[in-house]
Structure 1
């Protein structure tokens, strides 16, 4: 029996966050494989996109996989903590809510908490679902503390967190890590792609100065260009503009100002939305919009008029199309990040999609035979993940009362994708949430957005009737009080960073 040889020559095309996350993970996990080489090719002349700087809790696992020291990471990337996303004006102007990390309340009598909250609403309780999330309450209070899984009776045992950081600094931080672990960086602009005549496999990339970088497995992290997967191998792009009409963004950092909360903020605008991501040294801002409903000049002016501090750079204009490549793995090329697809950063999933793609690649890592079985599984799971995230993003636009612009009227009247339609039908019927195939967003995430954006269940689980009205109100009030008392004992985010060694010097607060 002829057994294919292990892949040992890996070439990562493109740097930035995606490229250096990939290189760092490969040398960390596979670095001891005999003869393994990881080469990353990038050009300093090519700018990275960097449309967002916020993450979701899965980034904790990636950093721990690399063995990073959290406080060093916080300092190096100028990071702050993130307990969720505050959505402002999405349901209607003047309304806001937090999509928090972690869970709501506590399950009772063997059924999910939301059914008791819904019963409470029916019997006169007027509390908001946000009041039952320690992450939401702490986030709005500007406080932070580490989760307490060792104390299951504490609300802190249900807390999850993520980071807001400077993506450029994170890439540089990981570059140092990867190079120290054995990855080799090659500077140069790629001008050609060499392919095998019979197989069509990529064999090497050619640089502007004539050098060639050969490999067996190529990771395409070349951004929107999708240099290998899209251009060289011709894998088509599946366009989701119908469901996600925003196709442009303008981004600009500004000086610190406004409230210092461990939350990303998304504020709905007439033709899209604006992000606000507070870091230790500055605030990241951007306006994601539909160019069919507002022009770039007006979109840029709107962003600049709604900053909390003085701009620190010229606005960065970005154009994109929502969707993904039909196959993220073709022949011996795997695309990660923007080269594989793009979904607007409304729920901070861009960096996660890189991370999950890396994890999937490591789990299905090929030999030189490049079996179709593993490739097909990779593509199936990747497409499923994009689709599930798409449906969650569409929910934000679809479930809105806004009709103050043509953009919002389009979004409100958009027929939802089948998966989202099924979730909405089930929730409206009984307050139950469908979650399939271990999809990224949890039941609590769906609960938060659906309830907070006006999706109202007609009924709830019959078991909730096992508590009478008085007991229901008493238990709900107790949960709220325990969460509030717990949050009141937490330090502010600034205090936490200084106490634990994650704060940067004050002299760096306003640097770009």
Structure 2
């Protein structure tokens, strides 16, 4: 059924409520694509801070930058970015047991079965080394090496300064016609008949009218939540962490090409190395520890000069049941939040933007299009939710109440099926448009301690000599490629050198 109130009203005025990473990513994409035919305004206040801790990304951001034709070297210089090859999970499988979830592929698949089946057969015959030895990105991360390779031969993402990224995208967006308006939103005007948002009124009294409104107001969700009353599905029965403490410190050594996720008694700690500083934080459950204890643990584990005061961030894991309602689309924290363990926040912003551009309602807003957008958004977030729950459910840790509770909790049937399938058969599957591919599930499940009970019969067709040669050739190729890569810190400095003077100059 189409929205009779708006189906004949073309969308010509887009109003983005809120800046930060989400707001300026939206502005950049819409302005670059449709800036010549749309009036694009972004409302934000210098008095309202942003969360600004989504500083680790995943490889999909490269696709976003390619769509916007952003120069990578300039972007990295502007945001003090470093390269990221994966995440080091420390103390997750058990205390003092670590693994890396890296980008890219591991080994070589056969059309009948994934590489993990041949690797498992090799382990059974004592012919295979660690699973990670067959992955270029993982070995490069371990050895702190990085370099671009021909034919996009290495998969990577970035660590970046989120506030600097928003500034960079603001300049980019304004270059394509987006207009920034300073001020706090004091009132949201709606149409009495349709319930659609008609305008946002600022504390200055200015009224900004629009046809389509993008809610990037963060956890407050001023438009989608407070005004339109869209319900929120709480997922805290599976994701118990509801708090974070963030602090920045000066760099004390070479930046490593991976994020560190260090598990503690009641949560985990992140370390994100940029060119000029390190982002640190503690994610925890307030049901199992108080703020002061979490803060003390975080501060005891940091190195380098403290650059800012620690700040506490509260959140509720979950998702709006509908992220597009009437003429309002929620993007970023206003749509929902999953904790940052797999660096998915910026990816979800990006996916929401791409989906909106593909379904942009230029001729008018139709309910069928809203329904399809919401259907796709929900399917995507559920998959990511399950992948994050996996890290807590599948663990050998039983040393604290937090980890015992996580290990014993019931999980969504969709996740339990994936766990059972891999444990019993070694198989994984990926539905279309899912973010995390088979290798991600395999690396995490193996890393967390699940060893499949069997392997595909294709692996039995190889004799010892053939299987040994197959495995050794992959491992040797990985080792040779990694040996040719320069140290990560050295590569970043050389790669960004041409643009650094511009962005290091006093503002």
Do the two structures share a fold, i.e. TM-score over 0.5?
Answer: yes
1:74 aligns with 2:76: yes
CA distance in 2, matches of 1:323, 1:107: 35
1:27 to 5, 28, 31: 31
Pairing partner for 2:92 from 66, 70, 90: 90
Give 1:153's aligned residue. none
Return 68-77 or 45-54, whichever deviates more. Answer: 45-54
Decide whether the 8 Å contact of 1:494 with 1:503 is kept in 2.
no
Taking the aligned partners of 1:503 and 1:117, their CA distance within structure 2 comes to: 44
Distance 1:502 1:97 in 2: 33
Q: Does 1:265 align with 2:260?
A: yes
Partner of 1:178: 173
For residues 480 and 308 of structure 1, do their structure 2 counterparts lie closer, same or farther at Cα, with a shift above 3 Å needed? farther
Please say if 1:4 is aligned against 2:11: no
Please list, as runs of the form range in 1=range in 2, the aligned pairs for 1:353-364 lying within 5 A after superposition: 353-364=348-359
User: Equivalents in 2 of 1:346, 1:255: separation in Å?
Assistant: 23
Alignment of 1:50-449 (within 5 A): 50-108=52-110, 110-125=112-127, 127-149=129-151, 157=153, 159-258=154-253, 260-367=255-362, 369-449=364-444
Verify the 8 A CA contact 2:423 2:451 in the aligned structure 1: yes
Provide, for residues 186-218 of structure 1, a one-character-per-residue CA deviation record: whole Å limited to 9, x for no partner: 100001000001000000011111111100000
Rounded to whole Å, the distance in 2 between the matches of 1:501 and 1:170 is 15
Aligned to 2:47: 45
SS in structure 2 opposite 1:288? Answer: strand
- How has the CA–CA distance of structure 1 residues 453 and 409 changed in structure 2, closer, same or farther, with 3 Å as cutoff? same
Structure 1 residue 141 displacement after superposition: 1.0
Residue 89 of structure 1 aligns to a residue in which SS? Answer: strand
Alpha-carbon distance between aligned partners in 2 of 1:3 and 1:206, rounded to the nearest angstrom: 25
CA distance in 2: counterparts of 1:502 and 1:295, whole angstroms:
44
Which whole-Å deviations, capped at 9, do the CAs of 1:401-448 have from their partners, x for residues lacking one? 011110000100111211111111111111110211321100010010
User: After superposition, what is the alpha-carbon deviation per residue over 1:357-403, rounded to whole angstroms, capped at 9, x for unaligned?
Assistant: 00000111114531111100110111111111010000000111011
* 1:91 aligned counterpart, secondary structure: strand
Cα displacement (A) at 1:260: 2.5
Tell me how far 1:502 sits from its aligned partner: 4.8
In 2, Cα distance between the equivalents of 1:38 and 1:127? Answer: 55
CA distance change for structure 1 residues 77 and 195 in 2, over 3 Å: closer, same or farther?
Answer: same
Q: Which whole-Å CA distance do the structure 2 matches of 1:506 and 1:176 have between them?
A: 18
> What is the rounded CA distance, in whole Å, between the counterparts of 1:440 and 1:279 in structure 2?
25
Shift of 1:455: 1.2
**Equivalent position SS for 2:453:** coil
Where 1:435 maps in the other structure, the secondary structure is coil
Inter-partner Cα distance in structure 2 for 1:480 and 1:287: 36
Provide the C-alpha distance between the structure 2 equivalents of 1:50 and 1:406, rounded to a whole number of angstroms.
Answer: 31
Aligned length: 500
> What is the Cα-based RMSD across aligned positions, in Å?
1.8
Deviation at 1:5, TM superposition (A): 4.5
Residue 463 (structure 2) aligns with: 468
For residues 442 and 503 of structure 1, do their structure 2 counterparts lie closer, same or farther at Cα, with a shift above 3 Å needed? farther
CA distance in 2, matches of 1:3, 1:204: 18
Alpha-carbon distance between aligned partners in 1 of 2:303 and 2:463, rounded to the nearest angstrom: 48
1:313-334 per-position Cα deviation (integer Å, ceiling 9, x unaligned): 1001100000011100000000
**SS state at 2:214 partner:** strand
CA contact (8 A) 1:266 1:275 kept: yes
Give 3-state SS (helix, strand or coil) of 1:409's partner: helix
CA contact (8 A) 1:78 1:504 kept: no
Give 1:498 shift: 3.2
Q: Is the partner of 1:219 in helix, strand or coil?
A: strand
Structure 1 Cα separation of the partners of residues 212 and 363 of structure 2: 8
Indicate the larger mover: 239-248 or 378-387. Answer: 378-387
Distance 1:479 1:60 in 2: 27
- Which residue does 1:479 correspond to in 2? 474
Tell me the distance in 2 between the aligned counterparts of 1:271 and 1:201: 43
Give 5+ residue unaligned stretches, structure 2. Answer: 1-5
Inter-partner Cα distance in structure 2 for 1:302 and 1:52:
21
Query: Structure 2 vs 1, CA of residues 504 and 87 (structure 1 numbering), >3 Å: closer, same or farther?
Result: farther
Alignment partner, residue 16 of structure 1: 20
- Partner Cα distance (1:503, 1:304) in 2: 36
Structure 1 unmatched runs, 5+: 150-155
